[in-house]
Structure 1
Amino acid sequence: MKQRKRVHRTEQLALENEFSANMRDVIDSLLSAHRTQRPVVFTALIETRGSTPQKAGATMLIYEDGRQVGTLGGGCVEAEVKRRALECLSTSQRQLETFQLDHDYGWDDGLICGGRMITLIDPIGGNSRIEYYESLLKQIDSGEGFTQAIRIEDDDGTIPAGARYLFDHNNTLIAQTDDHDFPNSNSGFIPELKSLPRPKMSQGWAYLPTLPKFELFIFGAGHVGKKVSEYASQTGFEVTVVDDREIYCNPQNLPDAKHCLVGEFDEVIDSMEFGPRSFCIIVTRGHNHDEEALFHLIRKQTCYLGMIGSKRKIRLIFDDLIAQGIEAHELERVHAPIGLEIGSQTVPEIAISIVAELISFRSQLSTSVRPHK
C-alpha cells in the first residue's frame, strides 16, 4: 500500500460529516417530538475558539425529562447546557450562552485550556418556526450541502441574536426563523460549498456550512468490504455495497450500508450512475472479479477509483486490461494498491488504511470537484 501526501484538513472534514449525520438524528427527533406535542429544546454549538470538546456544528436535543439525542461534547459544559435548556422550557425564550472552558467548566473534563463555546438554546413550542427545521431536514437528506447563518450579536437592535437563515447549495435563501430579512450586505459572506469551507464568524454572524455528501461504492461484500462500509459510513460517506452473493450483500450483514446491490459485477455496474462525488473501491474476493469490476469502472465518471491487492496482482490485471483495449493512461488514475501505508495486517487495520486514504483524498478536493473521465 502506498503513502499519499499528508492532508491537514482530514480531521476537520471528518468532524463536519460526522456532525451532519448527528444533526439528522437530532432534527428527525425534534420533528417527531413536535408532532406528538412533546416539549423539547434544540441546542447547537454555533461558534468555538481554542480547544473545545466539539466544534461548531454539533447539535443536541433535550427532552423535558433530561434525555437527549446528540451531544455537545459531554462533561460539565453539556450538563450546564442541559440545565439552562430545561429552564428555557418554562419561558419558551431562545438564548445564546457563552461558556469559557476554565476552572468553572474544566475540572471534571480536563478541559482547562481557555477554549470558548457559544451555544444556541432554542425551546421548540407552538410559536417555533417548525418550517425551518423541516427545510433543514430536507437539505440534510438531499446530500447537496447547505449553510446556516446565525446572528450572534444584536447591537443594532434589528435582527435578534439567535436568528437563523438557511441557504441551499446554490446559496439561495430557503428558510428563516425570524421575520427580519437577511441583510443584502451579508450575502457575500455565505461560503461557497465547492471550496469545502469551514465555519466562520464575520460582523456579528456565524456561518455554518454543511458540506455535500460523497458516495462510496464498495465492490465486494467480504470481510474488508464490510469493515470499510462500517468505518466509511461513520466518517460521512453514503455507502453502497455491490456483490454477486446475496448471503453477504444484504442489510443484515451490512447494517451501515445505505444500499446493497446484488448481481453480476458487469451487469450491476453498467446499470449504475456515478457522478463527481462518487468514490469507487474494488475489494472483491479474487483476481478475476477485481479485473472484471475495474474493466467496467475504468471509463465511468467517478471522483476516485481504487483497488486492493499486491503490486504483482495489480500489474497482472493492468496488463490484461491493456490487452483488452484499455489505454495505459486510463489506468493511471487508479489508486492501487489502495490504502495509506500504516503497516496494516488485520482486516480492521486494512479497512482503516483504506478509509484514511478516502478521507485524505476527499479533503484535498478544493475549488471544484471535477470527475475523472
Structure 2
Amino acid sequence: MKRLIRCIRTDLESGKDLVLASIVKSSGSTPRSSGSKMMVRSDGSIEGTIGGGLVEALAQEEAAGLFNGQHGSVFFKEFDLSNELAANADMICGGHVSVMLEHLPADEKTIAAFTAVDEAMSKGKHAVMFTAIDGNTVREREAVRPCCQLPALLFADEAEATKLLEEALKSGTPVIEECGEVLLVAEACIPQPELFIFGAGHVSRPTAALASSVNFRTVVLDDRAEFANAGRFPTAEEIHVLDGFENCFSGLELNANSFVIIVTRGHLHDKTVLGQALKTPARYVGMIGSKKKRNAIYDALLAEGVSQDSIDRCHCPIGLSIGAQTPEEIAVSIVAELIQNRAG
C-alpha cells in the first residue's frame, strides 16, 4: 500500500491525472480482497493490483472512460467470478467483487490528500481517506489522521465521520455509508509493520531488500558504518549506526506489530540484542544460528534471570525450513516466516 500511495503522489505532483481502482466489496473466493488497489495511468500502465487476469484488464479498459469523462469522476463496476466471465478467463475463484474506479485529477486538493496519507504512512502512522460521492462525481476527498481532530466534512457530521473512521480502522477494509444523497467512503491506510534488522552483514542485505518488496518497513542497525549505509541498503526506510549493541533499542518505538530479526556478526552481540528484544512487545523475534548456538545463548540468558516464557518467544533457528544455503536463499526462508507470522 505504501509504495502505491507514493507512486500516486509522485505522478500527481508531476501533473499526471490518474484513475484509482479499489476493491470495496468482495465475497466468496476472489484473487484479492477488499481494500486492494491499482493505479492506472492515461497510457494504460499500472501500479499495484486488484488480482490480475480478466478483472484487472477490464478495470483498465473502464479507466479509459474516466480519463475522457464518459463516467463522470467515479463509478462502481461489479464482477461476478462465478459465471461465464470466470469460465472464459480460466478463473476458478467463484466469488464476487465490487470495484470503485475514481478519477484523480492532478490538482491541489487531490495532491494534498495523498501527500497527507503518504507522510503518515512513512512515519508508521495510520490514516483514513474520506471520499464523498454525489452521483458520479467526487465532491470531496479528505485524508484524516485518527489521532487528530476530524475536519469539517461537507457531507457528514462529526458523529457520522467518527463512526466511519472507527469502522474502517477496525476492519482494515473500505466502509461505505449513505449520507442523504451522498455516498461516503472511508478507507483505512494501514502502515507497513516495522522490521528491525540488527546486523548489516551478508544475510541482512537480501533480507532487507526482500522484506521491503513485500511491504515491511525495514530499519537496519549495526555498529559498523561501512556496513550500515544507504549504498548497501537502498530500500531501507532507516539506517542506524550504533555505538554498540548495548542499549541498542534506546530511542526505538516498538509495538505489538513490530518484527525483530537478529543477524549480527557474533554470538555475544546476538545474545546482547536478544536479551533486550525479549523485553519489548514485538510481535516476532527471530535469531539466526544453529541449535547449538541457540542453546548456549538461551542458557546464558536463563542464568541472568530471563524467564523461559520470554525465551520461548524467540524463533531460532530463524526462517522456514526449506534447505536454504546461500544468503539469498536464507533471506527467502526468513521473509517467508515473517509473512507467515504477519498473516496470523
Paired residues of 1:215 and 1:238 also in contact (CA < 8 A): yes
1:4-15 counterparts in 2 under 5 A?
A: none
Q: State the partner residue of 1:308.
A: 288
| Distance change (3 Å), C-alpha of 1:338 and 1:122 | farther
* Matched AA of 1:173: L
Paired residues of 1:47 and 1:119 also in contact (CA < 8 A): no
1:254-273 counterparts in 2 under 5 A?
A: 254-266=233-245, 269=248, 271-273=250-252
- Flag the structure with more relative contact order, 1 or 2, with Cα contacts below 8 A and sequence separation at least 6: 1
| Secondary structure, aligned partner of 2:248 | helix
User: In terms of mean alpha carbon deviation, does 115-124 or 184-193 score higher?
Assistant: 184-193
Q: State the partner residue of 1:238.
A: 217
Paired residues of 2:128 and 2:188 also in contact (CA < 8 A): yes
| Distance change (3 Å), C-alpha of 1:123 and 1:255 | closer
Q: State the partner residue of 1:173.
A: 150
| Secondary structure, aligned partner of 1:292 | helix
- In percent, how many aligned pairs have the same letter? 28
What is the deviation of 1:240? 1.3
Deviations 1:222-272 (A, max 9, x none): 333223212322332211122344444332322332223334542571654
Q: State the partner residue of 2:56.
A: 78
| Distance change (3 Å), C-alpha of 1:283 and 1:194 | farther
Paired residues of 1:96 and 1:161 also in contact (CA < 8 A): no
Deviations 1:196-237 (A, max 9, x none): x33255655654323243221111223332232123223322
TM-score calculated relative to the size of structure 1: 0.72
* Alpha-carbon distance in structure 2 between the residues aligned to 1:25 and 1:127: 16
Where does structure 1 lack aligned partners over 5 or more consecutive residues?
A: 1-19, 365-373
| Secondary structure, aligned partner of 2:67 | helix
What is the deviation of 1:335? 0.6
| Distance change (3 Å), C-alpha of 1:127 and 1:182 | farther
Paired residues of 1:147 and 1:171 also in contact (CA < 8 A): no
| Secondary structure, aligned partner of 1:46 | strand
| Distance change (3 Å), C-alpha of 1:167 and 1:62 | same
Aligned residues: 334
TM-score calculated relative to the size of structure 2: 0.77
* Matched AA of 2:120: Q
2:84 to 97, 103, 107: 103
* Alpha-carbon distance in structure 2 between the residues aligned to 1:175 and 1:219: 44
1:1-373 counterparts in 2 under 5 A?
A: 20-34=1-15, 38-91=16-69, 93-100=72-79, 101=81, 102-104=83-85, 107-108=88-89, 110=91, 113-124=94-105, 129-150=110-131, 164=141, 166-170=143-147, 172-174=149-151, 179-182=154-157, 184-185=159-160, 187-191=162-166, 197-199=171-173, 201=175, 203-204=177-178, 207-266=186-245, 269=248, 271-276=250-255, 277-299=257-279, 302-323=282-303, 325-329=304-308, 331-332=310-311, 334-339=313-318, 341-346=320-325, 347-364=327-344
| Distance change (3 Å), C-alpha of 1:126 and 1:293 | closer
What is the deviation of 1:94? 1.1
| Distance change (3 Å), C-alpha of 1:238 and 1:307 | same
Hey, which bits of structure 1, 4+ residues long, moved more than 6 A? Answer: 159-162
| Secondary structure, aligned partner of 2:20 | strand
* Alpha-carbon distance in structure 1 between the residues aligned to 2:283 and 2:339: 13
Deviations 1:54-83 (A, max 9, x none): 333333333333333333334433333333
| Secondary structure, aligned partner of 1:269 | coil
| Distance change (3 Å), C-alpha of 1:293 and 1:132 | closer
